[in-house]
């Protein structure tokens, strides 16, 4: 009944092709790219395709009046369930609002609407030799709004940082209907410490629980001219953190430093995929070290890293240009693909997929994950951002096996608990969402309560994306 | 089928390339949404209703999503399985039925319509006019049929050259046979000019792609098998086609599970023998020179989705750039869909027009005199769009333009 009223009100306010109420349409807003929807199915009561500030204001007004949730959504590539509607309400689809309103290459900036994708923005700036450095693998599809809301990082965030380093200003619509510009009312600067930093301190990474991001002013950076790197196949994973430390200490600044764990059961399939390379025995880990910058600098970094790697157990393959680097990235993917071959006939699904541990405890954490995964009787592929100790775990599971899925749920809890036990964090870049919200107090203690107070301040009616970051059980 | 559907991990990467999503904007118009909806119906979680059908029918089967999908999800097979169910339970839409019926069972009827279709020939330069070549910019006046207007298969059987470099069989496909007759003629001429003997196997039938796309899998499978039989019997060095979609039919659809292992095995014998015309000229014949166009001409090239999917992107461009007087300009977003998608442009004209409008904008941005592509279907739709935009550019298959250059240049020794 309530949903009928909602649909009616929205239909009165919006054009026909902006409001979706048909079952078939709403079903397609029941998922994101995470594991959560393999366990649960929820639909919003309606979806609105917003393309202006006014559309957002109107949507929020109806939501306030009827006290129904509003779930902002970009491309739905998130993995934490942030764009799902567990308690119904309105899914606010911002992915079609694609205006790049201001291109300001002389000031290294752009002002864009939330639905612009990372690739679209970079394409618009390519003629000026500028780009937005955070580079999630989902960059072809994910939106700048989603990236800001999730504080998205990428493979090269080691050198450049995540979105919070690049968001210089935001326009947000608060659940109360107020439109606020953060980062300076008229500012077009790329540096400022004026006032409380509400843009990156509060809204970047707020996953849609404080308000709707309707405009993003981002800093763009020059595309580095040179890239090089080493694919190191380690015969002794335990020595990898030391290798990374040595290279780092030598003055080399990685642009990326990615690993794929090769557990013994996967060695055969990985070796097959990498058969063009000289393989060490055993093969325990694949490490990709990348350097980016100007040509002489990169050549020096490559050389230093090569020298240092030579004193560690393993083999190296070198790339001296962007083109050659593509091959190394491809080989890293192949290694990942090889690990997936260790449990054929399964579906790879992110679960407990984004934990971070202190860099020195990377191997300890990986061993812990392998143990938990073994106990659950499934398999997994572990890869990620080595210097940060950020581990992505892709579970190789059989979603139709109800017994197994029960174990998988326990397994995911176990991986998150492991992270906290190792002085780590449950998420490095994918966000808290709905998946990790139950662990908020465990991870943050008293600070979780402060977060709740902040949310109440902005959103007294709790209509903005409830149940995300902060668990739903109480307000 | 379940495995096909489960493969999708909902990463959403395909959102970036889907032409219908770009226009419609809602998630159900993405490949991810379509797989999700088809999966719910095929697994019995949701009923098959006209509502679901309407949404899945908005897919152009352009396969752009498949070329970016990291897990190799086979959207085309899923849509086909779904449309089969749809055809069985709800029947094939009337409009589609008429056209498909004509292709499958009434080729004679189509044959009698072919003369009208020959009005659609697209040749930028008038053939060796007395005062030299005249560039024809006025498409509306461009009605001179170069051939009698009978279906291609009934006109040309073979062209022999002395000491042929290669013996080539030409798979015309329906479009070239009935509509793009000058394209067929051009393929043959250009091959002959490059030292090949060519013939057109008369027993060939439709490649099956439109039938797969409409869920008439049984008929499609019959056609694929028939063509495999016909083509395997040929004593040819190569089999050449000039339509991107036919190419997918010839190269890939032997792999459809229902075609069966026996035919799949048989099709393996054809592997390495089937080429798109530009691919054949560049990669097999090593063509390095082409005659000049009679006048400086600004040319652009549109990537047909199906042609690009099979990896043919660079060869047509290289050929176009080889011609003297050709000023090649790359349009922005040359690889985005033109919205044609065969029967889709008949059943979903407004949406296909909307998609095409974007293409036309890209084309107009580089102000070409001639727009080319490797697909007769794309060309028709682009021509329609240019007409609507009141633009005078000529649209032709790139092989027609190359042939045109040959025709304006006397053969050696003449
Ligand atoms: C294969 C794959 C690889 C990935 N790799 C990375 C990676 O390397 N690094 C990384 O950080 N992430 C990665 N991700 C996760 C995800 O792609 C990113 O976080 C992405 O930025 C999310 O953008 P989106 O537009 O899809 O947002 P969505 O998934 O639609 O939404 C994400 C969250 O942001 C909120 N939101 C979205 N738009 C707005 C808005 N305008 N205003 C307020 N709230 C909003 C939503 O409510 C939700 O909580 C990956 C995902 C996949 C599937
Ligand atoms: S790219 Fe492939 S796996 Fe990803 S959502 Fe699209 S179809 Fe599914
Ligand atoms: S085949 Fe083309 S239209 Fe259909 S879902 Fe894929 S990209 Fe979209």
Residue B109: pLDDT band (50, 70, 90) is very low
CA angle A274, A349, B20 (to 5 degrees): 95
Pairing of strands A256-261, A347-350: unpaired
Across the A:B interface, residue pairs with CB atoms under 8 Å apart total: 81
pLDDT higher than threshold 60 for residue B103: no
Helix (H, G, I), strand (E, B) or coil at A132: coil
Q: A76 and B27 in contact by Cβ < 8 A?
A: yes
Residue A346: partners with Cβ closer than 8 Å, 6 or more residues away: A378, A379, A396, A397, A398
Per residue in B61-91, pLDDT (tens digit) is 999 999 999 999 989 888 888 888 887 777 6
- Give the pairing of strands B370-373 and B394-397: parallel
**Nearest residue, CB atoms, B26 vs list A49, A77, A117:** A49
Specify the residue with its C-alpha closest to ligand 2, atom 2.
B69
Give the three-state DSSP class for B397: strand
Q: What is the pLDDT of residues B308-344, one digit of tens each?
A: 998 999 999 999 999 999 999 999 999 999 998 877 8
Confidence of residue B148 (pLDDT cuts 50, 70, 90): very low
B106 interfaces chain A, CB cutoff of 8 Å: no
Could B12 and A138 be called an inter-chain contact, meaning their C-beta atoms sit closer than 8 Å?
A: yes
Q: What mean pLDDT comes out for the span B253-278? A: 89
Q: Around Cβ A179, how many Cβ atoms within 10 Å?
A: 16
**B294 with B265: CB under 8 angstroms?**
no
Closest in A31, A33, A93 to B36, CB measured: A31
> Reduced to 3 states, what is the DSSP secondary structure of residue A293?
strand
Please report, for residues B191, B252, B280, the alpha-carbon distance to residue B276 in angstroms, rounded to integers and kept in the order given.
12, 13, 6
Q: Which CATH number fits domain B152-283: 1.10.10, 1.20.1050, 1.25.40, 3.50.4?
A: 1.20.1050
Contact B408, B323 (CB under 8 A): no
Contact indicator for A67, A462 with CB cutoff of 8 Å: no
Tell me, in angstroms, the distance from the centre of ligand 2 to residue B318's CA. 33
Average pLDDT, chain B: 84
Select the CATH number that applies to the domain covering A100-222 from these four: 3.30.465.10, 3.40.980.10, 3.30.565.10, 3.30.413.10: 3.30.465.10
Looking at beta carbons, which pairs linking B339-342 to residues 24 or more positions away fall under 8 Å? B339/B19, B339/B60, B339/B381, B340/B375, B340/B377, B340/B378, B340/B380, B340/B381, B340/B382, B341/B60, B341/B61, B341/B62, B341/B377, B342/B209, B342/B210, B342/B213, B342/B245, B342/B377
CB A207 within 8 A of CB A469: yes
Task: List the domain boundaries for chain A.
Answer: 2-93, 100-222, 226-340, 347-421
Ligand closest to CA B39: 2
Choose from B27, B56, B59 for mutation: most chain A CBs within 10 A: B27
Per DSSP, which regions of B104-245 are E strands?
158-159, 166-171, 196-199, 238-241
Answer whether B27 touches A (CB < 8 Å): yes
Confidence of residue B281 (pLDDT cuts 50, 70, 90): very high
Between the CA of B273 and the centroid of ligand 3 the distance, in Å, is 29
Phi and psi at B170, nearest 5°, equal -105, 120
- Counting ligands in written order, the one closest to the CA of A211 is 1
Helix axes A295-310 and A240-249, enclosed angle (nearest 10): 140
Q: List C-alpha distances in Å: A196 to A38, A200, A454, B26.
A: 41, 10, 14, 37
The single residue listed with the structure tokens 């096909």 is: B4
Domain spans of chain B, in order of start: 2-90, 95-145, 152-283, 288-407
For residue A152, name the pLDDT band (cuts at 50, 70, 90). very high
Residue of the nearest CA to atom 3 in ligand 2? Answer: B8
CA B296 to centroid of ligand 2, rounded, Å: 45
Amino acid B84: pLDDT? 83
Nearest-CA distance from B145 to chain A in Å?
44
Task: For residue A17, list chain B residues with Cβ-Cβ distance below 8 A.
Answer: 24-25
**CATH number for the domain whose boundaries are A347-421:** 3.30.70.2740
Ligand 2 centroid distance, CA of B201 (Å): 40
pLDDT > 90: what percent of chain B? 47
The DSSP 8-state label assigned to residue A143 in this structure reads: B
Using 50, 70 and 90 to split pLDDT, how confident is the model at B412?
low
Pocket of ligand 2 contains residue B113 by CB under 6 Å: no
Residue A444 DSSP SS3:
helix
Mean per-residue pLDDT, A208-225? 98
The pLDDT of A390-411, averaged and rounded, is 95
Report CA A167 to chain centroid distance, whole Å. 16
Q: How far is CA A350 from the centre of its chain?
A: 12
Per-residue pLDDT at A254 exceeds 80: yes
What's the full length of chain A, in residues? 475
Q: Does residue A474 register a pLDDT over 50?
A: no
The two tokens of residue B259 are: 């075609």
A113 lines ligand 1 (CB under 6 A): no
pLDDT at B178: 79
Per-residue confidence band for B124, with pLDDT thresholds at 50, 70 and 90: low
pLDDT at B341: 82
| Helix, strand, or coil (residue A355) | strand
Q: Which residues of B touch A30 (CB under 8 A)?
A: 36
Min distance B347 CA to chain A CA atoms (Å) = 20
Distance CA A38, CA A399 (A): 7
Residue B7 in tokens: 């493969």
Residue A398 has pLDDT above 50, yes or no: yes
Options 3.30.43.10, 3.10.20.30, 1.20.58.110, 3.90.1150.10; which CATH number does A2-93 get? 3.30.43.10
Rounded CA separation A465/A86 (Å): 9
pLDDT for the residue numbered B95: 52
Mutation target among A27, A33, A78 for the B interface, most CBs of B within 10 A: A27
Q: What is the pLDDT of residue B110?
A: 47
Q: What does the pLDDT look like over A91-116, one tens digit per residue?
A: 999 999 999 999 999 999 999 999 99
Would you tell me how many other CB atoms lie within 10 Å of the CB of residue A369? 23
Tell me the pLDDT band of A471, cut-offs 50, 70 and 90. very high
CATH architecture of A226-340: 2-Layer Sandwich (3.30)
Ligand lying nearest the CA atom of residue B61: 3
Measured CA to CA, the distance from residue A255 to residue A310 in angstroms comes to 20
pTM: 0.89
Strands B238-241 vs B274-276: parallel, antiparallel or unpaired: parallel
Q: Is the CB of A213 under 6 A from ligand 1?
A: yes
**d(Cα A7, Cα A336) in Å, to the nearest integer?**
45
CATH number belonging to domain B2-90: 1.10.1060.10
What integer pLDDT is reported at residue B92 of this predicted model?
Answer: 61
Closest of A334, A227, A236 to residue A277, by C-alpha: A334
Residue B32 Cβ contacting ligand 2 at under 6 Å: yes
The Cα B355–Cα B359 span in angstroms is: 7
Q: Do B25 and A33 touch (CB under 8 A)?
A: no
Residue A240: asked if its preceding bond is cis (omega within 30°), the reply is no
pLDDT tens-digit readout, A10-59: 999 999 999 999 999 999 999 999 988 888 899 999 999 999 999 999 99
Cα–Cα distance between B80 and B5 in angstroms, integer? 12
- What is residue B29's DSSP assignment? G
Residue-wise pLDDT for A232-243, tens only, equals 999 999 999 999
A464 pLDDT above the threshold of 70: yes
Best mutation target, B2, B4, B6, B11, to test chain A (most A CBs within 10 A)? B11
pLDDT tens digits along B345-354: 888 888 999 9
Q: Would the CB of B61 count as within 6 Å of ligand 3? A: yes
- The per-residue pLDDT for B106 is 47
Interchain pair A93, B25: CB under 8 A: yes
pLDDT at B27: 97
Q: Which CATH architecture has domain B288-407?
A: 3-Layer(aba) Sandwich (3.40)
Q: What is the pLDDT of residues A367-384, one digit of tens each?
A: 999 999 999 999 999 999
Q: In angstroms, what CA-CA distances link B307 with B64, B210, B268, B378?
A: 11, 16, 21, 11
> Residue A144 CA: which ligand is closest?
1
Give the distance from residue A230's alpha carbon to the nearest chain B alpha carbon, in angstroms.
Answer: 24
Q: Do A29 and B40 touch (CB under 8 A)?
A: no
Within 10 angstroms of residue A310's Cβ, the number of other Cβ atoms is 10
Mean pLDDT over residues A174-200, rounded?
Answer: 96
Same fold, A2-93 and A226-340: no
Instruction: Quote the pLDDT of residue B101.
Output: 61
> Percent of chain A scored above 70 by pLDDT?
99
Residue listed under structure tokens 């919205």: B339
Residues 6 or more apart whose CB falls under 8 angstroms from that of A310 comprise A316
Q: What are the chain B neighbours of A346 within 8 Å (beta carbons)?
A: none
Mean pLDDT, rounded, for A266-287: 96
CA gap A280, A259 in Å, rounded: 16
Give the count of alpha carbons within 13 A of A294, CB side only. Answer: 2
Q: How far is B238 from chain A, CA to nearest CA, in Å?
A: 32
Which among A141, A322, A311, A305 has a CA at the least distance from the CA of A223?
A322
What span, in angstroms and rounded, lies between the C-alpha atoms of B146 and B140?
A: 16
Instruction: Record the tokens describing residue B351, joined without a space.
Output: 């949406």
The pLDDT of residue B137: 40
Mutate to test the pocket of ligand 3, among B5, B28, B64 (most ligand atoms within 8 A of CB): B64
Minimal Cβ distance to B9: which of A30, A95, A348:
A348
**ipTM summary value:** 0.94
CB atoms within 10 A of CB A251: 9
Strand partners, B79: none
d(CA A29, CA A20): 10
Residue B143 has pLDDT above 60, yes or no: no
If you average pLDDT over residues A132-150, what whole number do you get?
Answer: 97
Band of residue B146 on the pLDDT scale cut at 50, 70, 90: very low
């Amino acid at each position: 009944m309530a949903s009928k009223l909602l649909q009616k009100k929205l239909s009165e306010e919006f054009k026909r092709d902006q409001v979706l109420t048909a079952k078939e349409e709403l079903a397609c807003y029941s998922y994101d790219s995470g594991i959560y929807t393999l366990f649960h199915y929820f639909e919003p009561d309606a979806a609105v395709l917003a393309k202006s500030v006014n559309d957002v204001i109107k949507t929020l007004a109806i939501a306030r009046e009827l006290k129904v949730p509003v779930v902002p959504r970009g491309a739905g590539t998130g993995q934490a369930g942030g764009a799902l509607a567990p308690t119904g309400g309105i899914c606010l689809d911002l992915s079609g609002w694609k205006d790049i309103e201001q291109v300001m290459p002389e000031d290294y900036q752009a002002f864009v609407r939330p639905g612009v994708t990372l690739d679209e923005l970079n394409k618009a700036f390519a003629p000026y030799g500028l780009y937005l450095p955070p580079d999630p693998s989902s960059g072809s599809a994910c939106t700048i709004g989603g990236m800001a809301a999730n504080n998205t990082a990428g493979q090269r965030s080691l050198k450049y940082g995540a979105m919070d380093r690049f968001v210089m200003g935001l326009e947000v619509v608060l659940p109360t209907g107020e439109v606020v510009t953060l980062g300076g009312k008229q500012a077009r600067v790329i540096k400022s410490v004026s006032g409380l930093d509400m843009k990156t301190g509060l809204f970047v990474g707020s996953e849609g629980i404080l308000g709707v991001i309707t405009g993003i002013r981002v800093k763009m950076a020059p595309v580095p001219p040179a890239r090089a790197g080493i694919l190191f196949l380690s015969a002794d994973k335990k020595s990898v953190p030391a290798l990374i430390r040595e290279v780092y200490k030598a003055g080399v600044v990685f642009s990326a430093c990615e690993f794929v764990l090769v557990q013994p059961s996967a060695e055969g399939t990985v070796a097959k995929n990498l058969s063009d390379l000289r393989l060490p025995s055993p093969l325990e880990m694949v490490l990709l070290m990348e350097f980016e910058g100007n040509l002489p600098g990169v050549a020096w970094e490559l050389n230093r890293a090569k020298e240092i790697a030579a004193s560690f157990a393993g083999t190296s393959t070198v790339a001296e240009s962007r083109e050659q680097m593509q091959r190394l990235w491809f080989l890293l993917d192949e290694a990942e693909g090889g690990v997936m071959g260790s449990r054929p006939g399964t579906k790879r699904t992110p679960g407990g997929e984004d934990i971070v541990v202190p860099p020195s405890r990377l191997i300890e954490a990986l061993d812990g994950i392998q143990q938990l995964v073994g106990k659950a009787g499934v398999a997994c592929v572990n890869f990620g951002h080595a210097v940060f100790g950020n581990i992505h775990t892709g579970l190789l599971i059989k979603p139709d096996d109800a017994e197994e899925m029960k174990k998988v749920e326990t397994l995911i809890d176990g991986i998150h608990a492991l992270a906290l036990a190792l002085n780590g964090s449950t998420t490095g870049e994918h966000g808290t969402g709905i998946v990790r919200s139950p662990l908020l107090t465990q991870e943050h203690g008293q600070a979780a309560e402060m977060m709740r107070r902040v949310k109440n301040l902005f959103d007294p009616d709790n209509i903005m994306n409830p149940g995300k970051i902060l668990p739903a059980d109480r307000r | 089928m379940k495995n096909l559907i489960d493969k999708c991990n909902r990463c959403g990467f395909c959102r970036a390339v889907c032409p219908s999503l770009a226009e419609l904007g809602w998630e159900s118009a993405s490949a991810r949404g379509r797989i999700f909806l088809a999966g719910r119906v095929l697994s019995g979680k949701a009923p098959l209703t006209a509502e679901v059908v309407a949404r899945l029918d908005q897919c152009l089967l352009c396969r752009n999503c498949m070329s970016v999908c990291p897990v190799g999800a086979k959207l085309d097979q899923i849509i086909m399985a779904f449309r089969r169910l749809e055809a069985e339970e709800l029947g094939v839409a009337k409009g589609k039925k008429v056209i498909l019926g004509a292709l499958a069972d009434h080729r004679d009827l189509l044959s009698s319509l072919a003369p009208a279709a020959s009005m659609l020939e697209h040749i930028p330069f008038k053939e060796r006019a007395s005062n030299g070549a005249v560039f024809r910019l006025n498409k509306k006046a461009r009605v001179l049929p170069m051939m009698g207007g009978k279906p291609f298969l009934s006109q040309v059987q073979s062209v022999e050259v002395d000491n042929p470099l290669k013996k080539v069989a030409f798979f015309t496909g329906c479009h070239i046979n009935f509509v793009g007759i000058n394209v067929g003629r051009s393929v043959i001429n250009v091959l002959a000019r490059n030292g090949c003997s060519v013939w057109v196997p008369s027993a060939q039938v439709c490649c099956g792609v439109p039938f797969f796309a409409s869920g008439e899998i049984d008929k499609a499978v019959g056609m694929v098998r028939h063509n495999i039989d016909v083509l395997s019997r040929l004593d040819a060095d190569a089999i050449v086609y000039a339509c991107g979609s036919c190419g997918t039919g010839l190269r890939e659809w032997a792999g459809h599970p229902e075609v069966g292992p026996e035919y799949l095995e048989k099709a393996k014998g054809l592997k390495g023998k089937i080429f798109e015309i530009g691919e054949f000229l560049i990669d097999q014949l090593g063509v390095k020179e082409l005659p000049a166009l009679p006048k400086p001409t600004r040319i652009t090239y549109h990537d047909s989705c199906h042609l690009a999917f099979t990896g043919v992107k660079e060869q047509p461009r290289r050929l176009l750039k080889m011609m003297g007087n050709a000023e090649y300009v790359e349009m922005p977003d040359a690889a985005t869909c033109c919205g044609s998608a065969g029967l889709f442009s008949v059943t979903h004209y407004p949406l296909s027009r909307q998609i095409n409008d974007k293409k036309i904008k890209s084309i107009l941005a580089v102000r070409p005199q001639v727009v080319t592509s490797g697909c007769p279907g794309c060309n028709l739709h682009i021509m329609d769009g240019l007409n609507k935009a009141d633009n005078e550019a000529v649209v032709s298959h790139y092989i027609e333009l190359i042939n045109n250059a040959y025709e304006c240049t006397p053969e050696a020794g003449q």
